[in-house]
Homo-oligomer: A and B are copies of this chain.
């Protein structure tokens, strides 16, 4: 059994995107075992257990990940993750990966895959609502599948907008209002909001949206009216209806699960997709164990771990 402290170091987004895309395709083909996330709740947060097996990639295991909103005051990340890899032939745990950064990267990869298939343009203006770690990995991953002519970024705090733009000074970038940020080709929403931030009238025809922030019941970033006029793709039906962007509108009767256009796996396999350049498309991302195993697969091929005695 090996422990990998920084399995993300040296990983290329091209390789991550390619492997995560293959995992989504295997999901669509019915070749992935992936029981639903299991939640255990604490006063201060929760942890989620995410087991899966992708025979086509020869990888199985479990990601264990917490969400503790008060951690920053303790100097700890809000989200920390550990992935345990299980050998399919023997059941032996063979690897342990510090998966905190891997989690950000695999979420970025899903956004890039959705953008590659659902955005009708290859040269884009990228709008970012939120300027944290998730905004960074969306930008970095989408840059592998599109030419980004301009980035527009909005954050509640002006200094966060400026800091973000200075980190990505190779791009033409503007710190804009929320409304102006939404005037773009690809919009990524990455905030922990529990009330809609993006108004329906700000979103033009043809926009593709990666709705990343909502990953728990009660969270939402988009005006439900946008969902009503868009083609909405999700990663997994059970997770999305429980905790994705669609969860609040569904619970309020403003959106029906029957209106969901399909899964990202179906998009990757060519079974579902955008119908016209004028449609709005939305990818509602909640984060799947198959993404965690796909990126772990690449990380294990790439890195050396610390040998731990087992069994």
Residue contact B92 to A76, C-beta cutoff 8 Å: yes
Q: How many angstroms between the C-alpha atoms of A64 and B96 in the bound complex?
A: 12
* A310-B90 contact, Cβ under 8 Å, with A33-B41, A64-B62: no
Give the contact stretch, choosing among A48-56, A146-154, A187-195, A272-280: A48-56
User: 0/1 per residue, A273-311, Cβ < 8 Å to B?
Assistant: 000000000000000000000000000000000101111
Residue contact B82 to A84, C-beta cutoff 8 Å: yes
> How many whole Å from A103's CB to the nearest CB in chain B?
11
Q: How many copies does the complex hold?
A: 2
Q: Within 8 Å of chain B (Cβ to Cβ): is A66?
A: yes
* Given A3-B308, A44-B88, A71-B90, 6 additional A-B pairs, CB 8 A: A33-B40, A47-B51, A47-B91, A66-B86, A80-B92, A96-B96
* A52 nearest in chain B by CB position: B40
Q: How many angstroms between the C-alpha atoms of A96 and B89 in the bound complex?
A: 22
In the complex, the 7 A-B pairs of residues with the closest C-beta atoms, listed nearest first: A66-B91, A68-B91, A42-B88, A49-B51, A82-B93, A35-B38, A5-B309
* A60-B38 contact, Cβ under 8 Å, with A77-B311, A310-B98: no
Q: Can you spell out 6 A-B residue pairs with CB atoms less than 8 angstroms apart? A: A33-B41, A66-B92, A68-B91, A79-B91, A80-B92, A96-B96
Q: Within 8 Å of chain B (Cβ to Cβ): is A67?
A: yes
A51: contacting residue among B40, B74, B90, CB under 8 A: B40
* A50 nearest in chain B by CB position: B49
* A310 nearest in chain B by CB position: B98
- List the B side residues contacting A43 at CB < 8 Å: 88
Interface residues of A in 206-243 (CB under 8 A from B): none
Q: How many angstroms between the C-alpha atoms of A190 and B71 in the bound complex?
A: 45
Residue contact A44 to B5, C-beta cutoff 8 Å: no
Interface size on A, residues (CB 8 A): 47
Q: Within 8 Å of chain B (Cβ to Cβ): is A257?
A: no
- List the B side residues contacting A96 at CB < 8 Å: 96
Q: Within 8 Å of chain B (Cβ to Cβ): is A100?
A: yes
> How many whole Å from A84's CB to the nearest CB in chain B?
6
Interface centre among A38, A47, A53 (most CB of B within 10 A): A47
Q: How many angstroms between the C-alpha atoms of A98 and B3 in the bound complex?
A: 14
Residue contact A67 to B90, C-beta cutoff 8 Å: no
A311: contacting residue among B41, B51, B68, B100, CB under 8 A: B100
Q: Within 8 Å of chain B (Cβ to Cβ): is A45?
A: yes
Residue contact A308 to B5, C-beta cutoff 8 Å: yes
A67: contacting residue among B66, B88, B91, CB under 8 A: B91
Interface centre among A60, A89, A90 (most CB of B within 10 A): A90
Residue contact A91 to B40, C-beta cutoff 8 Å: no
Residue contact A80 to B311, C-beta cutoff 8 Å: yes
Residue contact B310 to A45, C-beta cutoff 8 Å: no
Residue contact A91 to B51, C-beta cutoff 8 Å: no
- List the B side residues contacting A71 at CB < 8 Å: 90-91
Residue contact A74 to B90, C-beta cutoff 8 Å: yes
Q: How many angstroms between the C-alpha atoms of A64 and B87 in the bound complex?
A: 12
